[in-house]
Structure 1
């Protein structure tokens, strides 16, 4: 699986296993995304869109609160949706980001 692709746009996805804690999994996803952005020469401030995929839509407020911790002052476009399941049954959350960087 490719975690990120860089051109003028950077597309990164993060997923996390662990305890049945959607907020904790989201936090780990954003940490993975932040690290991948930095490796590509970008920052969270370059993110223009996020997509949050949940196995239980009831978790949206918990996960949105974590999104706010990372993007409080940035405010990218965000979509939250429910999926039926992931390949790994421990995954509750997957987060995709699109970032645009200027060389």
Structure 2
């Protein structure tokens, strides 16, 4: 069974992707930025942008019956690796106890020049939880 989540973004139809896809107990959340209602949130603030992206990811996970506790992998793309501590702080506020495998890399640009952070997540519902070990 395949369950897809849409954020309602025009990009999803145009590019052909979903915010999140769950197949069985595996969930993949697409690269997520701090865009709400078509506008970038947290202009110039990588911490706020990371927090908003993680809130959007958490909502997408909830829509498919998962939570941040199920996340086993994140990938973080930043336009300035010098902001790693601010972005890492936001990530740690969500995943301090979960501690998924994580990668943070600097990229030349994101789809909108006002975007500073993009985050992907992968989750295993049930089996991926730290408390299930």
Q: What TM-score comes out, normalization by structure 2 length? A: 0.74
Deviation of the 1:58 alpha carbon: 0.4
Q: Which runs of 5+ in 2 are unaligned?
A: 1-11, 13-17, 35-39, 128-133
- Alignment map for 1:12-31 (pairs within 5 Å): 12=29, 13-16=31-34, 17-18=40-41, 19-31=43-55
Output one character per residue of 1:6-30: Cα deviation in whole Å (capped at 9) or x when no partner.
Answer: 1121111310123110000000000
User: Residue in 2 aligned with 1:41?
Assistant: 65
Deviation of the 1:87 alpha carbon: 1.5
Question: How many angstroms apart in 1 are the aligned matches of 2:21 and 2:57?
Answer: 12
**1:9 equivalenced with 2:33 (yes/no):** no
Question: How many angstroms apart in 1 are the aligned matches of 2:100 and 2:49?
Answer: 20
Question: How many angstroms apart in 1 are the aligned matches of 2:90 and 2:52?
Answer: 10
Q: Which runs of 5+ in 1 are unaligned?
A: none
Supply the RMSD in Å over aligned alpha carbons: 1.3
Question: How many angstroms apart in 1 are the aligned matches of 2:126 and 2:90?
Answer: 27
**1:79 equivalenced with 2:103 (yes/no):** yes
Q: 1:52 aligns with which of 76, 81, 85?
A: 76
The residue matched to 2:66 in structure 1 has which SS?
A: coil
Q: 2:92 aligns with which of 63, 68, 77?
A: 68
Deviation of the 1:102 alpha carbon: 4.3
**Segments of 4+ moved more than 6 angstroms:** none
Higher RCO (Cα < 8 Å, 6 or more apart): 1
- Point out the structure with max Rg over C-alpha: 2
